[in-house]
Structure 1
């Protein structure tokens, strides 16, 4: 269980007692707390209760906590078949919480180990992140000393983004400055000394991944960090994976990457051949 001060316990009790305020300020949390009792847990009632307390505490803590996503999910990490996985037993309740956390923070989990691995790959260079969403990864990477430029075609702080809906009066729209741009070249025309960070690009043959990779290549980019699923999965498109196979070489894989139990994503570093 998270260690709460007496003052924080009183704040949470007051929030739970005022359902109108909870729904107005934190509608995703309110809906989760209403629905979750009817859903199947992981089989460990104590762990499930601790998880829900962490979710309530950290999702309503505002800017007082620098990395709420990891604070919520970190205790769920277990080893499974050589991978680090969140709650291998899963369950419909956790699957619902997963969507809430995806929309609030990011699809991929920025564990401290993976942030450190990215820092080693970047090695002092500038990092540019297309499709940055709420900028949660950008925030964590920047906190590790990486110079990050983040952009998105639909920054949640300036226009509607179906992947990161704006809900309630309190949650942050973005965790980092996310520029509004539809093209990598609008943000950075010369990428010869940059690393591109592509995290969970849209799948289902959406051309975003292959388009931005082509722009990166055309602007002399030579190092890519890709976080997502393999070909045929939920991220990237066939043209993107074909380009990697044809013109890039896999240089490094993060062995400490943390994935949700129901996903098959990983973190890779690629260099131009």
Structure 2
């Protein structure tokens, strides 16, 4: 897999050097490499973010969203491009790294809005986000119901130590930590169980909204009832066709003892 990733990255870079844009059927705007559409700091820190090894050279589009720029990455190329047969799809890369695209901008924003408070990530999978946050100086405890090797959502590669606990148990074991959920599995009660067990005032959510590919209806009902969105990451980088983002929520009223 490493060899394929290196070859894919090399072929894609060669393609962009000869052709600065790529037209794809059905799209009115040309695609550029993700590297061209990201802030310079994301590029400077890409060497410690393995997910960026191939993604920097994937085709992408940039638009303006309600909170700031939205950059969407596509996992296909026209069939006549030499790199096309080597392209790894979103599902393949998600299993290797994370279902959400993790950028330096996102990690630094999380560190800023949490003001140095430690995090507890529930449903951490391979620990990819925990690793990137740790590299940026953010304290984080990664937890998951399943060990990395037995997690059906990842390919078994471990990026950080992941404690094996159920969602609610993980939250209760770390009462002084801010809760972080990254792309909780769809139609699964894990996310709502974690949120109901959580007693803190701030909560970080990375994923899609109601009706999307994350969590269940009970989670979004709980979120709507007791939480309000306080801030949104000003740069959204996601896979084309999805609607995920990074939001900081604040509890509407204090939790009763």
Q: For the aligned residues, what is the CA RMSD?
A: 3.1
Match of 2:183 among 187, 200, 221: 200
Aligned residues: 210
Question: SS in structure 1 opposite 2:130?
Answer: helix
Could you report, residue by residue, the CA deviation over 1:103-123 in whole angstroms, capped at 9, with x for unpaired residues?
001000111111111111211
Unaligned runs of 5+ in 2: 9-21, 25-30, 35-46, 253-257
Q: What is the TM-score of this pair, normalised by structure 1? A: 0.68
Taking the aligned partners of 1:78 and 1:175, their CA distance within structure 2 comes to 29
| 2:72 aligned to which of 85, 91, 99 | 85
User: Do residues 161 (structure 1) and 151 (structure 2) align?
Assistant: yes
More helix by share: 1
Distance change in 2, residues 1:190/1:140 (3 Å): closer
Alpha-carbon deviations, 1:15-56, whole Å to 9, x = none? xxxxxxxxxxx39959x98xxxxxxxx758xxx9x99xxxxx
In structure 1, the partner of 2:232 is 253
Instruction: Specify which of 49, 55, 68 is matched with residue 73 of structure 1.
Output: 55
- In the aligned structure 2, how far is the partner of 1:87 from the partner of 1:180? 33
Alignment equivalent of 1:231, drawn from 210, 224, 229: 210
Alpha-carbon separation, structure 1, partners of 2:167 and 2:207: 20
Deviations 1:214-249 (A, max 9, x none): 111xxx221111011110000011111111111111
Instruction: Name the CA shift for 1:124/1:198 in 2 (closer, same or farther; >3 Å).
Output: same
Please point out which of 249, 253, 256 is paired with 1:270. Answer: 249
SS of the aligned residue for 1:68 comes to coil
Q: Distance in 2 between matches of 1:103 and 1:88?
A: 14
Look up the SS of the partner of 1:103 in the other structure: helix
1:257 Cα deviation from its structure 2 partner? 1.8
* TM-score normalised to structure 2 length: 0.72
Q: Is the 8 A contact 1:90 1:261 kept in 2?
A: no
For the residues of structure 1 that align with 2:200 and 2:223, how far apart are their CA atoms? 13
Q: Distance in 2 between matches of 1:242 and 1:182?
A: 21
Distance change (3 Å), C-alpha of 1:182 and 1:190: closer
Measured at CA, do residues 28 and 224 of structure 1 come closer, stay the same or move farther in structure 2, by a change above 3 Å? Answer: farther
State the alpha-carbon separation in 2 of the partners of residues 235 and 176 from structure 1: 23
Shift of 1:186: 4.4
Secondary structure at 1:84 match in 2: strand
- The 8 Å contact of residues 75 and 89 in structure 2, kept in 1 or not, is answered as no
Structure 1 segment 55-66 matched on structure 2, within 5 A: 66=48
**C-alpha distance 270-91 of structure 1, shift in aligned 2 (>3 A):** farther
SS in 2 for 1:246: helix
1:6 paired residue number: none
Q: Does the 8 A contact of 2:205 with 2:246 survive in 1?
A: yes
Q: Of 177, 180, 183, which aligns to 2:161?
A: 177
